[in-house]
Structure 1
Amino acid sequence: MSPPTLFQLAVKSLAQEIHEEKIPFGFNLDAKSSNAVVRRLLELDPNNVELLETQTKQLSKLTELDLRKCRIDKEGVSNLKNFNLISLEFGGLLHLMKKFPDPTNRNRIDIVCLLEKTLNTNSQKLMVHLGFSGKEEFMSGWEEKVSNVHFSPMVSKLLPSLQSIKIISKEFSQRFQLSNLCSSFPNLRFLDISSAKGLSTLNGIKILKNLQELVMRNVEIRDVDGYKELSDLKDLRFLDVSVDISPFRLTNPIRAIGSLLATEVRMENLEFLDCSVTSVEERELREFVENHPKLKTVVAISTACDHISLPTIDLLNFNSTDSILKSLKYAVSNDRVRLAEHCIRVIFQKLNTNHEQLNDSEISKFLNSLRYVLREAKEERTKLAAIKCFAESNFFETERFSSSFSLEIPGIVELIFESSESLEFVNFPFVSHTLISSLLNRKVNFLRFGQTSQKRFNVIIEKAVELSCRNSAYTEILLRASRLISADQYTAMRNNTKVINGLFKIANEMFTWEASYQQIIEVITIYMKEASEETLKFLVSNGRIVEECVDQIKMVSQFPTRDSQRHLLHFLMVFSSVMSDKQLKKCYGGEAVFKLMGVINTKEMHSPFERTRAIMICSILSLLLAKNLTEHRKPIKKTIEELYYGWVLWNIPDGQKMSNRVFRAIITSRHSTDESICLCLTLMSTFIYTKGYEANGCWNYMRTTSEGIRSNPKMAENKREAANAVLYQMGRIENK
């Protein structure tokens, strides 16, 4: 399975950026790029079909469009006239029945009118392929009006160049006969009538003298001689009679190969046959191959011929590792969801119970094939099956995997998590959670054994945080991973804003009295210890984290979780040192200050914890006063005054670092009160963490400021005393 080309990688990357609106779509694309990018955008989200209306100019070279998964309205239909299309496939059109009604029957759609509204003159002239996959009924005689031949001078050719038609899930009847379809389009080279109903025979198909490919999956031909006219198709090279729906939905097992043999059908130029999931015996398949000497490839996945080999042809089944891989690639590249699931199930069995019988080369091939599925599969079910294989196969818990394939693990982990992001968890709520939990737990085990590189560690932690934000059930896995990593790994992650921001979000969504909440706060504290100023500024950029911390302080104060309270207040002090005046006012200018002041318990000031909490809160309040950013100066001043004069009776405990920026703001501001300045000076002498201040110039500033206050007779006595205490403490430190 070859790696994607540079063009494919570029298309995938560009489509993802456009889908996530990370780049403006202000540039024009050529035809090849337009086709590929639009195809990828619609795979990411069918709603991206709206880009055809908003970005018509940029996509003006678009020539191929697959709308099978899209719901397009009347305006969207009309907008398609802006493109010169040569290939167009529709999905369900029932919702357009009232917009394009059949004049003779309101339960049918006037598909001719719809096509006329959809296709401009160039598209009508150049259209080569047209597909319908909905279950709506078309007006009678539509095929003659869309025809590429003249039936009479009264009927014009709408699509004269049409060579390929898909008409899926349609019911053939007296009103709509296969023979009429073939007569209307005798120049077809490709015909797909999969899941057709009411089709007892293929009579009329011999009209298609140029037909090269015939696809008729899930089609039951009830007439014994129903396949007979296939012998007249001298150019037929590709025949698909397989099944890709549940066998329970079929009246009887499809025995296409047996019927072809019974009626002695010979397709002299046939090169490719797909008979997967049909009822075919080894004897029948060997005879069919013998009767068709030009046959090169047979796909017989999930049949009674799963484990046979035919030396003269390329047989896709489960007989060997290479055959399994070819089968899987065929299924994925042709959007054969059920066949892909069959192949992945076989790989799962090999890796789950038979891995000891496989050599390293075979295992490596299976790993590559699963990665191929995660990269290239368009259907969520297919990706989910591959993830399930990784999550549940016993091989991935073995020492052999962790040692022999250790270099492949980072790529596997990243690809699995990238793929899981695109899964609609709503569609798989229980199985997705189980699989991802199992997978993540396995990856965390590598931390325990010290087998994880920094890159792999980053992926595990980031994904654990992301999933915990979605579902609290993942939080225990996150905490387990956090307990197993080293101090160096924490240091390397200290500026990972994605992780830290996610941790704050997880904490805010938890119940504050839960043990896991306290553990999350502890993890945040470790990251915050060495976070850069740039990281801190990012975290406070929209104010959400600060506001949430204030709310959590209010809630957590009702419970005996003192460490969490202290950490939350520390976060606020650290954040305040990097916040702009605008950010401070947004977060604290309103009622937030009352939430903080309401936490202070003046009756319990004999408790070191209560004093520490009060001092930390008053430090923030003092900064708001100094910068004049609050409308509630009076109650704040009163709180600081009451507590300051009460503190002289108590020893102030050790606490948190006050930043140089906050210190300068409080000391120098004309808006600061005597009590807030005294508080600041008192903290400098007994509370502030002084190590390192000499290096950034703050030490000299502290000395000069304190000496100026102490020697100024106009200063209040309490300020001068506080300044003297600072100088005394500084002298003690310098004399050590």
Structure 2
Amino acid sequence: MPLPSLFQLAAKSVAQRIHDEKIPLDFYLDTKSSNAVVRELLELDPKDIEKLKTHNKHLSRLSELDLRKCKIDEEGVSNLKNFKLNSLEFGSLYDLKMEFSDPTHWYSIDIVSLLERAVNTDSRKMMVHLGFAREAFLSFMSGWEEKISKLLPSLQSIKINYTTFCQQNQISRLCNSFPNLRTLDISSAVDLSTLEGIKNLKHLQTLVLRDVEIEGKDGYKELSELKSLRCLDVSGYNEELHINNRLIGSLLADNVRMENLEFLDCSMTSFQDHELKEFVKRHPKLMTVVAISTECNYSYIPTIDLLNYNSPDSTVKSLEYAITNDREELAEDCILFIAEKLNTNHHRLNDSEITGFVNALCYVLREAKDERSKYEAIQCFDQSSFFETKRFFHSFWLEIPGIVKLIFKSWEILKCPEFETKPALSWILTVFERMVNFLRMGKKLQDGLLSLIIEKTMELSCQHSDNIRKALLILIEVHRYMSLDQYTTFFTDKKMVEGLFEFAHYSIKLDTPSYQQIMELFVRYFYQASEEMLNYLVSNCQVVEKCHEQVMQISQLPIKGAQKHLSNIVVRLMCVIDTNGFRSPYEKTRALIFCSTLSLLLAHNLIENREDINTKIKDFNDSWGRSSDLDCQKLTVKALNTIFTSEYSTDESVRFGLILMSTFLNPKFCLTHGYWKWMRTSLEGILNNTRSTKNTRELALSVLHAMACDIRWFSYYY
């Protein structure tokens, strides 16, 4: 399988930057580069056809344009005049039916007017290829062949799919109008009873009759007149329907002999081994036959290169042919065959054959343009048992990181429906799981691969909760079997520690047992974290706010281990969070939320060194100055009620709660939610509590007095 060249990689990169709108507008590309970049751009997203309007000057040397996957509007058609095109292929034209309607037939489109609008004078002289991927229910105006032959006199290649041939639209008229054709593709033609008139194409070298059945007697006879014909494609589209497509038999029955034929594609059609051998015998110059998904899947003919499944080498060639020629249905069949071999018969394959199959699957992930082929290749990596063997690990140890990265990247850009991407996600995690299993066998994985597995497992589990348990098991196994050096490297990795905490924060709402287990992993890193790491988590990861949320939830859950881990995490953060001498409202908000968390831990009796905690809260209380620009929406009435009513709350934590009450609980909010009575009762309870210190009672009394004096509370207070 060929690797992409530097030129191809560069074209992909430039296309991606144009797609992302991150490329400067002062670049200009030559013809070869323009063609390659636009081809890659439209593969990324067919809607990027719109970018040809804004980048037409920079891509002005574009000469080949394939719009098969694109929808183009009238303005887009006119924009094509900015380019000197020698090859143009359209996709759906249905949306242009109103703008270029045929006045004589409502279901026809005036293709001549459309082309006159689309191609400039230079393009009309230069155009050698024209293609239409027409809809079956849309036809061209009568007499289009002769008019286009005059408009585009240099045409050598025409592709018109889904054409209905009838009295008004005969293939003989097409052949007579374009006698200089080198290539003709009339795939999926309907009601074609004969190829009469095709003998006039004296220069024809390639004829594509894919999914075409000619039922008339001697319908293929004139093919013998095509002395220049080198390539013939009579393949089918659907494996289930090809049983009735007996084209090889029909060609033999019509005694067709194409004396210079070198290539034949008869995939997904029906014929017997003896018929194929007879056809080869009648065509002595035949060098290659593609016979994928036929009754002759395992046939072998020594005089030709037969692409089927007769050997691993032939299978790989078949897949490469299918991908290169955009034959999705053939590619899928090849991938399924390879998957079966790697699942049940890999022990019978030698190293070279195994390498060929694995490289072929990687080639699909890199180069296939259709989503289905990539989907099937990812499934093969998941379900084939070869990829969990020691042989795979030893044979591909150096390549494994690249393979895993390629699989993940391919899944990431899949645009399949959700019901297909969800299974594919599970397959990705299975690939990760198999890598981790190698650790269990005593093998060592590269640091980069381990980092990728840990990072992406956490990321995927947070995005797709269905796989949280599977992701957790992968993370546990990774940390159980990684080497000491790797463990030391990872616990100093800020991104890794942040990811573990995010995973824990995400899992607490979905799966309590998973939360407890992931917290056990996180604290291993956290206990060894440097002050720099702690500052990073506080400043960049909202760890203070998230700890507050977790304390609110975890106090209601019967998971003592996780409660202990969380309280220890909060205590560990005390060394980097200043609760006085604030430099900004943000720091003051953070300190306030942190003290709220400490007060809750005291109230729930989830913390041991209560004296240190109480001192930290006292520092905050003593340095407090009323602030109106702080953002503390996460501090709830429920938290205050816990602080005020718990037997484990300290005097300083109660004072802290009073500060919150006086500062952030505005009358409108409390009256709307019915909290005013609770506030008054709570304050009176503090005043009557003999355990309350003088300072605390005075603060409660001042809050109560402020409520009594505030006119907004007046009607409710008395």
Preserved CA contact (<8 Å) 2:157 2:183: yes
Deviation for aligned residue 1:401: 2.3
- Where in structure 2 are the equivalents of 1:200-211 lying within 5 Å? 200-211=193-204
Letter paired with 2:229: L
Query: What's 1:440 paired with?
Result: 432
For the 8 Å contact 1:566–1:613, the answer to whether it is kept is no
Residue 453 of structure 1 pairs with residue 453 of structure 2: no
- Counterpart position of 2:596: 597
Tell me whether 1:159 sits opposite 2:157 in the alignment: no
Kindly indicate whether residue 508 of structure 2 is the aligned counterpart of residue 517 of structure 1: no
CA distance in 2, matches of 1:467, 1:63: 42
The 5-angstrom pairing of residues 136-175 of structure 1 reads: 136-141=137-142, 143-144=144-145, 146-148=147-149, 157-175=150-168
Cα distance 1:75–1:483, how it changes in 2: closer, same or farther (>3 A)?
A: same
How far residue 179 of structure 1 moved from its aligned partner, in angstroms, is 1.7
Q: Secondary structure at the residue paired with 1:305? A: coil
- Residues 1:492 and 2:489 aligned together: yes
1:407-556 superposed matches below 5 A:
407-426=398-417, 428-451=420-443, 452-484=445-477, 485=479, 486=482, 487-494=484-491, 499-500=496-497, 502-512=499-509, 514-527=512-525, 547-556=545-554
After TM superposition, the structure 1 stretch with the greater mean CA deviation from structure 2, 339-348 or 20-29, is 20-29
Separation in 2 of the partners of 1:104 and 1:572? 80
State the shift of 1:541 in Å: 7.4
Residue 361 in 1 paired to residue 359 in 2? no
**8 Å CA contact retained: 2:523, 2:565:** no
Deviation for aligned residue 1:241: 0.3
Counterpart for residue 40 of structure 2: 40
Determine which of 235, 240, 244 is the counterpart of 1:242.
Answer: 235
Is the CA contact 2:498–2:537 (under 8 Å) kept in the aligned structure 1?
yes
CA distance, structure 2, for counterparts of residue 550 and residue 26 of structure 1: 51
| 1:289–1:627 distance in 2 versus 1, CA, 3 Å | farther
- What SS does the aligned partner of 1:600 have? helix
In structure 2, C-alpha distance between the alignment counterparts of 1:276 and 1:632, rounded to whole Å: 68
Tell me the CA shift for residue 621 of structure 1. 5.5
Q: Matches of 1:325 and 1:83 in 2, distance apart?
A: 39
Equivalent residue in structure 2 for 1:311, among 290, 302, 311: 302
1:493 alignment partner, SS class? helix
Distance 1:632 1:310 in 2: 79
- In the other structure, the counterpart of 1:3 is 3
Pair 649,210 (structure 1): closer, same or farther in 2 beyond 3 Å: closer
The one-letter amino acid of 2:488's match is T
Unmatched 5+ stretches in structure 2: 654-658, 660-694, 696-718
Q: CA deviation at 1:260?
A: 1.0
2:93 maps to amino acid: L
Q: Report the alpha carbon displacement of residue 384 of structure 1 after superposing the two structures with TM.
A: 1.6
Whichever residue aligns with residue 434 of structure 2, its letter is: R
Deviation at 1:57, TM superposition (A): 2.4
Following the alignment from structure 1 to structure 2, what is the Cα–Cα distance between the partners of residues 65 and 123?
12
Q: Judging changes above 3 Å, is the alpha-carbon distance between structure 1 residues 297 and 277 closer, same or farther for their aligned structure 2 residues?
A: same
Return the alpha-carbon distance in structure 1 between the equivalents of residues 459 and 650 of structure 2: 48
Offset from partner CA, 1:127-172 (integer Å, 9 cap, x none): 1111111305233225235422xxxxxxxx2212211111112222
Q: In the TM superposition, what are the counterparts of 1:569-718 in structure 2 within 5 Å?
A: 569=570, 585=585, 589=589, 593=592, 597=596, 600-601=599-600, 604=603, 608-609=607-608, 611=610, 618=617, 630-631=629-630
- Cα deviations across residues 659-718 of structure 1 (Å, max 9, x unaligned)? xxxxxxxxxxxxxxxx9xxxxxxxxxxxxxxxxxxxxxxxxxxxxxxxxxxxxxxxxxx9
Q: CA deviation at 1:343?
A: 1.6
Structure 2 vs 1, CA of residues 623 and 517 (structure 1 numbering), >3 Å: closer, same or farther? farther
Task: Describe the shift of the 1:632–1:29 C-alpha distance in structure 2 as closer, same or farther (beyond 3 A).
Answer: closer
Answer yes or no: is 1:380 the counterpart of 2:371.
Answer: yes
**Deviations 1:520-541 (CA, angstroms, capped at 9, x unpaired):** 3444444556668887787677
Tell me which residue corresponds to 1:222.
215
Distance in 2 separating the partners of 1:374 and 1:6: 18
Cα distance in 2, alignment partners of residues 602 and 3 from structure 1: 59
Shift of 1:593: 4.6
**Deviation (angstroms), 1:508:** 4.5
1:340-383 Cα deviation digits (max 9, x unpaired): 12222222222222122111222122111111111111111111
Query: Per-residue deviation at 1:269?
Result: 1.1
SS at match of 1:273: strand
TM-score by length of 1: 0.77
Question: Is the contact between residue 161 and residue 185 of structure 2 (CA under 8 Å) also seen in structure 1?
Answer: yes
**1:180 matched to which residue of 2?**
173
Could you tell me whether the CA contact under 8 Å between 1:373 and 1:382 is conserved in 2?
yes
Matched residue SS, 2:244:
coil
Q: Structure 1 CA distance, aligned partners of 2:220 and 2:497?
A: 65
The whole-number CA distance in structure 1 between the counterparts of 2:210 and 2:110 is 27
Deviations 1:369-400 (A, max 9, x none): 11111111111111122222221112222232
Paired with 2:194 and 2:520, the residues of 1 have a C-alpha distance of 72
TM-aligned CA deviation for residue 189 of structure 1: 0.8
Match in the other structure for 2:188: 195
Deviates more, 1:467-476 or 1:617-626: 617-626
Q: Using the alignment, how far apart are the partners of 2:72 and 2:22 within structure 1?
A: 25
Deviations 1:552-596 (A, max 9, x none): 44444444552464366468768868xx999x6458659x95796
- 1:107 offset after TM fit, Å? 2.7
How many Å apart are 1:424 and its aligned residue? 2.1
Partner of 2:330: 339
Task: Kindly indicate whether residue 250 of structure 2 is the aligned counterpart of residue 259 of structure 1.
Answer: yes
RMSD, aligned α-carbons: 3.9
Question: 1:717-732, aligned counterparts within 5 Å?
Answer: none
> 1:55 corresponds to which residue?
55
Task: Report the Cα offset of residue 262 of structure 1.
Answer: 0.9
1:505 and 1:217, CA in 2 relative to 1: closer, same or farther beyond 3 A? farther
Which whole-Å CA distance do the structure 1 matches of 2:160 and 2:572 have between them?
A: 63
Partner Cα distance (1:15, 1:180) in 2: 41
Contact 1:377 1:383 in 2 (8 A): yes
Q: Deviations over 1:456-506 (max 9, x none)?
A: 212222231232133123333332232232353243234656555554554
Displacement of 1:244 after TM fit? 2.4
Task: From the superposition, tell whether residues 404 and 289 of structure 1 become closer, same or farther in structure 2 (CA, over 3 Å).
Answer: same
Maintained 8 Å contact 1:624/1:630: no
> Structure 2 length as normaliser, TM-score?
0.79
Deviation at 1:112, TM superposition (A): 1.9
Q: 1:371 to 1:538 in 2, by over 3 A?
A: farther
Give the aligned residue type for 1:47. K
SS at match of 2:271: coil
